[in-house]
Structure 1
C-alpha cells in the first residue's frame, strides 16, 4: 500500500508539471518554431523528432503557406458535448518542411450524423503567420483515408499522417492560438484541459491511510489474540491447581 501511494505521488508530480507547462504556455511570448521543434532531417513523407517533454505546450510561431490540397479532418472530437471534427492543415515553411496546424473544431454537416463531412472554411491563400502551443501526436489512428479530396483520421497520428504528405513533417503539431490573417470565426477553439492531479493526491492519502489502518488493525488483533491465549493458559493452570491429588498405592 505504501508503494501504491508512492506511485500515485509520482503521478501527481508528473501531472502537476504538465499543468504548469500548460499555464506557462498560455502566458509566454511565442518563440520561433525551430526553438521548440527540431527540423525534420528526412525526405517527403518523413517525420521529424518528437518535441522534448519540456517543450510541449511551448507557444511557438511560424510563417508559411497553408497546403489546401491536404487538409486533414480528425473525426469524433467533442467540444461542449458536441461531436465534430478538428481541422489540421499543413503549413509549408520556407525550407520546404511543414508543420501541422490544428486550426480548430467545426460541427458535422447539418442533417447528417457525426461522420457527415463538414463544410470546411476556406484556407487562407498567401503567406500566413501562426502562433500556437506545441503538442505531441496521438496513437491508435487506424487507417488514414482520403474522402472528397481531404484526409480523414480518428487520431492525430503524426507518423501515419506524414506518410500521406509530400514533404517532411515536424514531429509535433501546433494548437492554434493566433493567426495572421485572422482565422475564420466558424472555427471553435479546441479547449485545453488540465490534468486532474488532485485525484492522484487523493489516492496517495487513501493508500497511506489504508497502510496505517492495516498496521493498527494487525497490532490490535495480535494484542487481542495474546490476551486470549494468556487467559486460556491462566484458566488451565487454575484448573490443574484445583484438581484433588490422586492417592498413591497403599
Structure 2
C-alpha cells in the first residue's frame, strides 16, 4: 500500500518535511537557550536584592587607562551584584539621562561620578527626578550633591545597548541611554566599565529622588516560543503521515464509495419480457 512513498514526488515531500521539522526544532532550542539565559538574569536580579554588599573590587576591575577611558565590563555573573564603595561626588559632571519613565511619568535619571581615592570614578545612578515645568524634556531641578566623603550601596548595572551621542545642554551632560564608554570620553578621569544603581547612601539621599525600578526579563515569552516551535515540528511530521495514509487508503479503494446507479434512468422492461 505504501510503495508510492518511494516515488520521487513523495521522497521530495519527505525530505522537505524533515528539513522543516529540523529547523523548527533548532529554533525551539534557540528559544530554550534564551529562556535559560533570561531566567539566570532574573535570578541574579533577585539575588542582588537579598545579598550583603561586597567591596566594589569583588565585582568590577578598576580602569587601567588614562582620563576619558572606561575600564573593562563586568563579568556576566557580576552584573546586579550588590556592592559598597566610598568617595566624593563630582557635581560639575552630572549626567542627565532623559526619557526615563517611573510611575508612568517621563523624567530624568541623574548619574553623578563618584571619584574614589585613587582618582578613578564610578558613575552612580542616584535616582529619578521629574522634569521642570514645560514638558518632559525640560531639564529638571537636581537636588544638591552631598559634599565630602560619601558611602554608597548599590547594584552593578552593565552599560546599556544602543547608547547614542552624549551632548551638553545648559552646561550639563545629557544622553538617552547610559553608554559608559561614551560618557567616559566626556569626563576628566578613568571610569569603571559599569555604573551603580543606588540603593542606599550615607549621608542619606535627597527624598526628591525616586528609586529606579528594575524590571525582570520576560523569560516566559521565550518558553512559549519553545513550545510553539516544537509543536510546529510535530505537526509537520504528523501532517506528512496523515496525507500519506489518506493516499494509501485511496489507492487501495478503502473508504471510497461507488457512484450510485440512477434506476429511474434505466429503460423499463418490455411486457413480453
TM-score, L = length of structure 2: 0.83
Q: Which residue of 2 aligns with 1:115?
A: 137
- Give 1:239's aligned residue: none
> What's the CA shift for 1:150?
1.3
- Report what 2:57 is aligned to: 34
Please, what is the CA RMSD of the aligned residues? Answer: 1.5
Matched, 1:208 2:227: no
Change in CA separation of 1:85 and 1:12 when aligned onto 2, cut-off 3 Å: same
Task: Decide which of 141, 149, 155 is 2:177's aligned counterpart.
Answer: 155
Query: 8 Å contact 1:89–1:103 — kept in the other structure?
Result: yes
Q: What are the within-5 Å matches in structure 2 for residues 1-250 of structure 1?
A: 1-110=24-133, 112-231=134-253
Contact 1:46 1:162 in 2 (8 A): yes
Confirm or deny: 8 A CA contact 1:70 1:149 kept in the other structure. Answer: no
DSSP-derived class of the 2:193 partner:
coil
Q: Mean alpha-carbon deviation: is it higher for 147-156 or for 164-173? A: 147-156
Task: Determine the C-alpha separation between the residues in 2 that align with 1:127 and 1:121.
Answer: 17
Task: State the distance in 1 between where 2:238 and 2:192 align.
Answer: 56
User: Which stretches in structure 1 are left out of the alignment for 5+ residues?
Assistant: 236-250
Please report how far the alpha carbon of residue 202 of structure 1 lies from its aligned counterpart in structure 2 after TM superposition.
Answer: 1.3
1:198 is displaced (CA, Å) by 1.1
- State the alpha-carbon separation in 2 of the partners of residues 2 and 229 from structure 1: 33
CA distance in 2, matches of 1:115, 1:186: 18
2: CA distance between counterparts of 1:228 and 1:132? Answer: 71
Write the deviation string for residues 55-100 of structure 1: whole angstroms up to 9, x where unpaired. 0000011100000000000001111221110000000000000000
* Cα offset, 1:215, TM superposition: 1.3
User: What TM-score do the two structures reach when normalised by structure 1?
Assistant: 0.90
Structure 1 runs, 4 residues or longer, greater than 6 Å off = none
Q: 2: CA distance between counterparts of 1:114 and 1:173? A: 24
